[in-house]
A and B are shown apart, each in its own frame.
Chain A
């Protein structure tokens, strides 16, 4: 089969994005208001279908800059499903508060395209281009409410921060290219491991290459908001329209982690000298710093959005740790953890989006249990999963991580994970408590608290399905573990 077929899905997204823009131009204002979100979801479903029906044939190079295999496939599917979920939970909010929705949703589709390219890239140039493509889209989405100064401020911060880091990454990548005279992951790996000669002078020492690795890692760490390049996240989460916050909380992470996985497995495997410093020094530092910092900073937050930002910084720490460990069990834990994290965050944001007040504080959740018992229950399940309480996907994610960690050459890292788990309870419990306690009638006016009116049925859809997913991951993880192992198998 011609490998070009693997590009059907990205092309569908591109065409879909252009279609939305065209409709925006030609349709009358009345027609326009209707159904951008539905079109976007349909485009995504078609694109998802293209991914699902195309069989994977080992490892295929596409246009010599992309790599398509089982891992690419499940990451692409994950990105599609997540994007659809983000559109559904944000639909009401977008209809209410966002102007120029055609453009807005076309950005969603384009970001889907960018993510697909980023997760499949096997070439440092492609890596850089697709990452910047995605970044630009997220900057614009963050500042999408032009009249809201906070939104603009958040976007500006995000942009400046991102520009610096992508310049840094570009510098690192060009350095790498200068030393190896190739942009291809596999060939770079071959040269660095001594299978092919260095084109310039031989051999280049690890000391020279170490900064390169740091620069690459910084760019990617920025993308997934891992410490020490996380500072943009709380501001961006807080300032962005809440539907975009939900987007930022999950999608760039999938994409960035996909790129991280690919680079770590193909270009810098653990068993090489350079790969060892990549995994055991750079990534390990980022992972441990991220989880510790995120959890400690989360203790002092009152705003739900900011709290979720710090929570995600911490969670990214756990997820990155799997890659840092760099064994089959480590990668397995990363993918599993990622799925558990996405499900939990989708549930949480699905619930937050039903609150009438979009800069909600934790105390605004009071009375949820009595007014919206179903949403309150799934919300609690998601929080328990983030905490890592047994019965949820989050527990088994931590379990896989600790197992991988104890097996690694640095078993002490599991102590850090465990201590962090305890620290994180220090803020997650406030969410549980707030959801469960009776509303404080003096502090919250009814208009701002939990809505008592019945919500649209689609408001329940994503939280309900994610909650089922969390429970399945926690109680019956066999099938998903097998899927992950299949996806990772090819790279071993």
Chain B
């Protein structure tokens, strides 16, 4: 079995070797660096699906080129299929051409490899190369020399001495000789205008016009135009604009060191090749000298420079409270209108002023900025009345006369009538009740009369406290007095009661003396006193208040015997009567004295 397989493999290989061969060959070996040679892969049969090897150390100039050869010899036909390459060796040394593969009769076969020896360049080769390089260099140089004379970018400034705020125009212009074929223009970085306010003028489509430079006609086009307004004084630089051009020029193929310029102009239709040359150029910069504006700027100067006319008007001169009026200020002319700060306008305080609305209609063209700006000041009157506003003024710096100029409006008079109440609106300043007060004057001063000294507050003063406390003290005093009085009263009653009989006895003894003297008047007086005094003390009734009725009532209350009372009263009566009676017996005097003594003793007994 093993033998069988071996035999089979052998047969296959043999058949392969004898029947189809795929060979690699080179046209030259060894070769010089830079020398051309041919590499061929030849199959002596029909085939397809050629797979080229990856070459290294050589540069393929062309290929694979396929060719087929059929030949009949000795009655047998044979076919040769060749794939060939034209190549150059790059470096000195040895190169191996790897094997390629191809399919034939359903089999893939490989070619053999070949090693090529590469020799150094020959002298002639070297010389040629150098020459070529030189030629190339001079060609480039010539091209640049030509382009220098045929492509320009210019920066042109219409003024170089300006005032701050004065406009100037910078123009970048491109000049191209009509015979130069520009393939591509690539602008470099855009210039930055430091210190300027820049407004680019819209140029639309770039149009070329014929312009003469040193009597040579050029195609010229403005590529950038900018209105510049210097924002500060001093020396300001305008940046250059860079461009990268690609110009297509025709060069003469075989001829050497030719003036291609001549070629170009003299022989436009015949001979030569076109080549593209890069060319960088710049417009160059410019310096502007900016003067600052004079110091004596009026108050109404808001930075306007140029030639400006002013129109100031009110939309109406009669309004109602809450209904707005608009003051419009229209500035028109040539100048830096876009760069103005909003002019301030003073309204009376009873006007509510809103931020002004600014509308501009400004054209920017080759003459600079011009047009008009309208400032609208909306003000809402809150109080009725007639108000004067203005005159409103606006100042600008005139460039022709080099001085400040002021435009002044007339004096405006606005009549404000009372409008409808604005409820919940913005106007809340004045209360409804106060509206009718507006315009009224204050009331007159007060004259005449006395002047008050510093009036002290009564509350908290000593007098205040005294007046407050006094009633309490009085009340307290009253209570104390009353209590004491009551006590005293009850004390004296007791005392008098005790003293009563004693006093009576004293009186009686005095009366006895008068009885002996027979002094009738004195006797009865003393007896009367003794009786009155006794009852008064006993009953605790002051003598002044004592009457016979009272005695009667009081004694009755005290359950004194009616006879005793009767006796007391008659005796009292008798004493009074007898005092003034002209004649009286002596016994009667004795009897009255005895009666009185009896009564006192009797009452003393009963009142105990």
Q: Do A and B come from one complex?
A: no
Chain A: residues with CB nearer than 8 A to chain B? Answer: none
Chain B: residues with CB nearer than 8 A to chain A? Answer: none
